[in-house]
Amino acid sequence: EDPQSDSSVSLLPHLEAKIRQTHSLARLLTKYAEQLLEEYVRHQGDPFGLPGFSPPRLPVAGLSAPAPTHAGLPVRERLRLDAAALDALPGLLDAVRRHQAELNPSAPRLLRRLEDAARQARALGAAVDTVLAALGALGARGPGPEPAAAAAATVTNTAAGIFSAKVLGLRVCGLYGEWVSRTEGDLGQLVPGGLA
């Protein structure tokens, strides 16, 4: 697929600027997401953060990792999936922050990063929506995650304990990083000049 033909309508200057701006934001948040993950594992204790640590990849209801087929989709469809994921992430990150506030109350930097990540995901999602609207592609997003609030309010198995909550938090932080990185890549293909 030629990404430039996907945006075959010549982009107005303001749309081009918006795309560049959103792409830059996604790039910045990719870096922040890596820092969040480092901060998170530091506070959960070993084996979190040890090389080779491979916890169960607990499925998170309402959000999954980018599919292997994601890269092969049309760019507008990819951006719709990016926006949907970014829409689901704030609620999940907030939930992780609330749990970490009980588990690690003396880790203000971790809590602040989680709070910031929720806000940043919201902002990036809104920016991607703006780009999609400008591209005339904001219509039906198609099958995507459940609405964020509903996903975050799902009652869980109460036998699950604190260790599994740590693992889940790790999973959510990982998903956040995967989706902002994926968004950066997808927007990069829209930037005139074809930035990756």
Binding site for another protein (CB under 8 A): 43-48, 50, 53-62, 91-92, 95-96, 98-99, 102-106, 151-168
Give the residue with the Cβ less far from another protein, 133 or 153: 153
Give the residue with the Cβ less far from another protein, 44 or 120: 44
Task: Please report how close the Cβ of residue 156 comes to another protein at its closest, in angstroms.
Answer: 4
Give the residue with the Cβ less far from another protein, 13 or 161: 161
Give the residue with the Cβ less far from another protein, 69 or 102: 102
Task: Please report how close the Cβ of residue 115 comes to another protein at its closest, in angstroms.
Answer: 15
Q: Which of 120, 99, 119, 116 is nearest to 170 (CA)?
A: 99
Give the residue with the Cβ less far from another protein, 4 or 154: 154
What are the start-end ranges of the H helices in 7-71?
13-44
Task: Please report how close the Cβ of residue 123 comes to another protein at its closest, in angstroms.
Answer: 21
Output the six-digit token pair for 99: 């749990």
Task: Please report how close the Cβ of residue 73 comes to another protein at its closest, in angstroms.
Answer: 22
Q: Give me the residue label for tokens 């920016």.
A: 127
- Taking the C-alpha atoms of residue 15 and residue 11, their distance in angstroms, rounded to an integer, is 6
State the first-to-last Cα distance of the chain, in angstroms, to the nearest integer.
14
**Burial of 118 from C-beta contacts in 10 A (0-12 / 13-18 / 19+):** buried
Residue 70: which residues within 8 A CB-CB, separation 6 or more?
78, 81, 182
Task: Please report how close the Cβ of residue 12 comes to another protein at its closest, in angstroms.
Answer: 39
Give the residue with the Cβ less far from another protein, 13 or 56: 56
Task: Please report how close the Cβ of residue 57 comes to another protein at its closest, in angstroms.
Answer: 6
- Taking the C-alpha atoms of residue 51 and residue 41, their distance in angstroms, rounded to an integer, is 12
Output the six-digit token pair for 73: 């989709």
Output the six-digit token pair for 61: 């209801």
